[in-house]
Chain A
Amino acid sequence: MTALIELEHVSRTYPLGTAGVQALRDIALQIQAGEFVAILGASGSGKSTLMNLIGCLDRPTTGRYFLEDVDVAELDHDELADIRNEKLGFVFQSFNLLSRTSALQNVELPMLYAASRSGARARRTRAMEALELVGLAGRADHHPNQLSGGEQQRVAIARAIVNQPSLLLADEPTGNLDSRTSADIMKVFQSLNQRGITVVMVTHEVDIARYAQRNVVMRDGLILTDEPVTDRLDSREELRRWQQAEPPAVLTS
């Protein structure tokens, strides 16, 4: 079986000044379906550029990128948009939900842009299923400003998986969350991964990367190391530990 993602000699240069900035230098990377990969690196290491490329938001300057055997470099704007809609789900650091729009409507949004149209009732049902999967079915009518950061991120995850993508891309998904809520989000990722969804996550936090199966470390536009995680964290274990560490509730008079 061929890989879900296959990058061959991929470079990305941004035109800046006379020389240009080389954000990625001749990268080769393969990710199989069903993997949970964390891409690590400091800012400026090229991990965000790599993320944008994998996410079909950008195209390599040179080299080839195959997503499910489709050469992305040859696609136009609309075809890329369709791939993002059908095969990819995005989760961002700052959640990027539409404000003043209910959680349910936010989750329905990708279906509105789908090439295969579904009816209003079918959209609603699927959006509710996705919200149930992230444990937020009870908050469907809430607007983002009525939800906590962790809840907003879970709505964003529901939105990312509602079109049943083969790949879930997360760009610093826990960057704006505390450690306890981060563990919550990682639990969602791990359970989605167990259901067969491939997860690629960009982070600069080593702790968070330990929830993944495989860590790709980048520096200066190159892949520094690429190895499986030996001491993988289980989100259930971590959450149990958090619960025990919490001081028991004390009634005050």
Chain B
Amino acid sequence: MNVFNATQIALHALGRNKLRSALTALGIIIGVGSLIALLGIGHGARAQVEAQVASLGENVIQVSPGSLSKNAVKLGLGSSAALTLEDAEAIRQEVPDAVAVSPEVKIKTQVVSGNRNWSTEIYGDSPDYFTIREWDTAEGETFTDQDVRGATKVAVIGQEAAEELFDEGEDAIGEIIRIRNVPFKVVGILVAKGASASGSDQDDGIIVPYTTALKQLIGKQTGLRRIYVQAANLEVLPIVEKKVIDLLRQRHHIEAGSDDDFKVRSQLEIAESATATARTMTILLALIASVSLIVGGIGIMNIMLVSVTERTREIGIRMAIGAHRRDIMRQFLIEAVTLSALGGLIGIALGSSAAKLLTALAQWPTLISPDAVLIAFVFSAVVGIFFGFYPARKASRLDPIEALRYE
């Protein structure tokens, strides 16, 4: 008997008990459906995180002040005021593959524009910042190196801050805003970037030249919050990282064996830690869904065992007229796999619809990858083989004489 005949017989047998077949397949449908939907949610979240991390700019390392040790008490990250403008300048001068360097200072303060006011983050950066973060203006221009040299009082404002400080439809370019009572001219508005990988709103902020920020708003003694360094390409990124570390250790007179008083993180590491969370979530969701798939498989096994018992006589007849054990085995295995694979296909359809519905109704990012669909389908077929094997084997081992006598 070939597979085609065996499949015909299996489909025929399943068609005889339509309701029972449908209910049995339902277990697999729910299992695969939830697997597809949950994997979609997990992958969607991961893709979103990855997009956010990528939006920080590639080939970038961030140097932050490290822990300051006072009498063997470590005060935690950022406690050191170790990073200085001179450090940033030294990196720019002495690390050849560092194509863009931006020192950054930050304060949170009240900003006034006309009769409106808003509390927001003020960043002092160099024009390289916009290159490094691949961030364009929606209106106007970014400030220039000239503005940095002259410590000009100009500001580039984020989309969200612009909405809070100006009326809708009002042309903000050229307007004056007051930061700590210092008037700044708005020269540009940035395009919207959305939430960062850590969840903060990147569009709620104002960026001014770091020289202006230090001179007008903060005071020179403050250390830098961070130095952004962009490498020429991904290949030289590790070299740049190493050189920056060596340079800063040398400049900060750190002896061999002592800890750095700064911390260097590449965008890659940040991306990894961010996606790791999303991956863990995906795995967790997939595990939960797999449990329901296995429960569905047990349902198939249960019904197949009932079916074998009910059809003992049929098995006896088939054996008496010449069916081999493997013919009987194949017949029941194909039945089980048909149930689970059909359930898998329907589950894939329902699961992806459910994911689309979630995106439409709850704005959850979901992503149905072909991989997930393939895995879910193969998994459901494997469940069919695994849970169908025992009943099929039981059927094939029946004694024909006993089976024919079965009432």
Give chain A's interface residues, CB within 8 Å of chain B. 52, 55, 57-58, 77-78, 81-82, 84-86, 90, 92, 96-98, 100-101, 109-110, 112-114, 117, 159, 163
Contact = CB atoms under 8 A, between A and B. Distances in A.
B401 interface: yes
B320 A90 contact: yes
B397 to A, nearest CB: 10
Most buried by A among B318, B322, B327, B400: B322
Contact of A57 (B1, B320, B324, B327): B320
A166 to B, nearest CB: 14
Contacts of A114: 322
A57 B400 contact: yes
Given A112-B1, A112-B5, A113-B327, A96 B404 contact: yes
A78 B324 contact: yes
Contacts of B1: 112-113
B325 A98 contact: no
Most buried by A among B5, B320, B325, B327: B320
A101 B320 CA distance: 17
Contacts of A100: 16
A113 B323 CA distance: 5
Contacts of B321: 84-85, 90, 109-110, 113, 159
Contacts of B326: 78
Interface residues of B, number: 22
Given A98-B317, A100-B16, A77 B324 contact: yes
Nearest to A100: B16
B401 A58 contact: yes
Contacts of B324: 77-78, 81-82, 113
Interface of chain B, main secondary structure:
helix
B263 interface: no
B404 A92 contact: yes
A90 B317 CA distance: 9
Contacts of A112: 1, 5
8 contacts: A57-B320, A77-B325, A85-B321, A98-B314, A98-B317, A109-B321, A112-B5, A113-B323
B307 to A, nearest CB: 14
For the complex of A and B, list the 8 residue pairs with the smallest distance between their C-beta atoms, beginning with the closest. A85-B322, A113-B322, A110-B321, A113-B323, A84-B322, A96-B317, A78-B324, A81-B324
B334 to A, nearest CB: 14
Contact of B313 (A84, A96, A109): A96
Contacts of A97: 317
Contacts, number: 56
A44 to B, nearest CB: 15
Nearest to A106: B317
Interface of B: 1-2, 5, 12, 16, 313-314, 316-327, 400-401, 404
Contacts of A101: 12
Nearest to B1: A112
Nearest to B403: A57
Contact of A82 (B16, B314, B318, B322): B322
Contacts of B401: 52, 57-58
Contacts of B400: 57
Contacts of A113: 1, 318, 321-324, 327
A86 B314 contact: no
Contacts of B313: 96
Given A81-B325, A96-B317, A113-B323, 12 more contacts: A57-B400, A58-B401, A77-B325, A81-B324, A90-B320, A92-B404, A96-B313, A96-B316, A96-B404, A113-B1, A113-B318, A114-B322
Nearest to A162: B321
A58 B400 CA distance: 9
Nearest to A85: B322
Nearest to A113: B322
Contacts of A159: 321
Contacts of B5: 112
A147 to B, nearest CB: 16
Nearest to A97: B317
Contacts of B327: 113
A109 B318 contact: yes
Most buried by B among A55, A113, A163: A113
B361 to A, nearest CB: 45
A84 B318 contact: no
A84 B5 CA distance: 20
B117 to A, nearest CB: 82
A109 B1 CA distance: 10
A196 B12 CA distance: 37
A81 B323 contact: yes
B319 A81 contact: yes
Contact of A110 (B12, B314, B322, B404): B322
Contacts of B320: 55, 57, 84, 90, 96
Contacts of A77: 324-325
A2 B109 CA distance: 113
Nearest to B319: A81
Most buried by A among B2, B319, B400: B400
Nearest to A84: B322
B21 to A, nearest CB: 15
B402 to A, nearest CB: 10
